[in-house]
Chain A
């Protein structure tokens, strides 16, 4: 079972934060196929958010095929997000090599983050 939290200052809509936390838990293997997600009542009683926000997040996850809702029973994880796990490790090695070069070139952490974020955005725009 995972526990949700909300970052009030992130600028990301609350329902999207819940979705991202489920996806992240799936990637990290904290959630596996067949696991039950907390009920809507449990989530709102813990995080103090609108029930419709949780419902919206769960519906979206269902639409993506990541979870299945069984009425009266609960919402269950339908598949994991680990398929690309084989690709992740080599990419991480390359990224770390790149980060070492950035540090060696004298960039401070903030500059590295900014460089990554802006390049990533441009890349996304161009490939869209």
Chain B
């Protein structure tokens, strides 16, 4: 197995003067379920499309499973991709989709595809256009996993699904991951979609990576501190303020600290993943549009 699933170094994508992704540096270890989170328009799709080779970088470098994205059939076979809104062919039946998958993918696993379709209770002769949104998403996932990729990339796979279909989709995805040990990168603009399934997170806003890492490590190194009003400069050594807010008497900080914060004058609390992600998101908002800080 490759040592690194995805490596990016100064990766940048511009469309004319507009920057879609700026100076992105990442090192994703194998076997992870990576959540790529950020608001709409942050650059998530651009990063994922660079990873599958649908886009080429303007500057910098990206390596996926040791190869250049989209570079020949061997590289394409290693990566399964489900684009946003799970595109399927409305006039083709479920069976036609599988036949198409078998023809176009040398590593196609027909038994796996058939088993998944049966498990989902889909009628093979049904036209994709007549499937529900959840069923279409499952069909698109089946197409991607049946080629037995080492890495599965999904762009907002559950954004348009209702809560039950979301859960069903994630159950299928996790079962596949457990059985085939593949790595997964999936994007969402909602942390709640990713919380249970991911063990690695990348926070992307305004075309930049704000934080990336193992969720357990991030959770173990971020705290909420509250206490009497003070400056961020007066925080305990080693604590970097990610977010701070103040009232007349009280200060609240979200900090990153690699050592436990031991200051008796501060109340130290653990964060949820959502708190942590929001702190990084609002930090970039505050940096770019300071006038918005009070409105949030």
Contacts and interface: CB of A to CB of B under 8 A. Distances in A.
Interface of A: 6, 8, 11, 13-14, 40-41, 44-54
Interface string B166-192: 010011101101110000000000001
Nearest to B169: A48
B195 interface: yes
A50 B174 contact: yes
A6 B196 contact: yes
A50 B196 contact: yes
A79 to B, nearest CB: 27
B28 interface: no
Please name the 6 residue pairs, one residue from A and one from B, whose CB atoms are nearest each other, closest first.
A45-B175, A44-B174, A51-B178, A48-B170, A41-B178, A48-B171
Contacts of B240: none
A6 B167 CA distance: 13
B279 interface: no
Contacts of B177: 44, 50-51
Given A8-B195, A53-B199, A48 B178 contact: no
A48 B195 contact: no
Interface of B: 31-33, 167, 170-172, 174-175, 177-179, 192, 195-199, 219, 270, 272
B171 A8 contact: no
Nearest to B175: A45
A47 B121 CA distance: 20
Residue of A41, A44, A46, A50 with most partner-chain B CB within 10 A: A50
B78 to A, nearest CB: 20
A121 to B, nearest CB: 14
B258 to A, nearest CB: 19
A50 B171 contact: no
Given A52-B199, A53-B199, A44 B270 contact: no
A117 B142 CA distance: 48
A49 B197 contact: yes
A11 B197 CA distance: 16
Contacts of B270: 11
A29 to B, nearest CB: 29
B179 A41 contact: yes
Contacts of B197: 48-50
B202 to A, nearest CB: 15
Nearest to B174: A44
Contacts of B170: 48
A21 to B, nearest CB: 15
B272 A11 contact: yes
Contacts of A52: 31-33, 199
A14 to B, nearest CB: 6
B167 A50 contact: no
Nearest to B198: A50
Given A8-B195, A8-B196, A14-B196, A49 B272 contact: no
Given A50-B177, A52-B31, 10 more contacts: A44-B177, A45-B171, A45-B174, A45-B175, A46-B171, A48-B174, A49-B174, A49-B196, A50-B33, A50-B198
A112 B170 CA distance: 40
A44 B195 contact: no
A14 B273 CA distance: 12
A40 B180 CA distance: 12
Contacts of B192: 8
Contacts of B167: 48
Contacts of B195: 8
A40 B199 CA distance: 16
B5 to A, nearest CB: 14
Contacts of B178: 40-41, 44-45, 51, 54
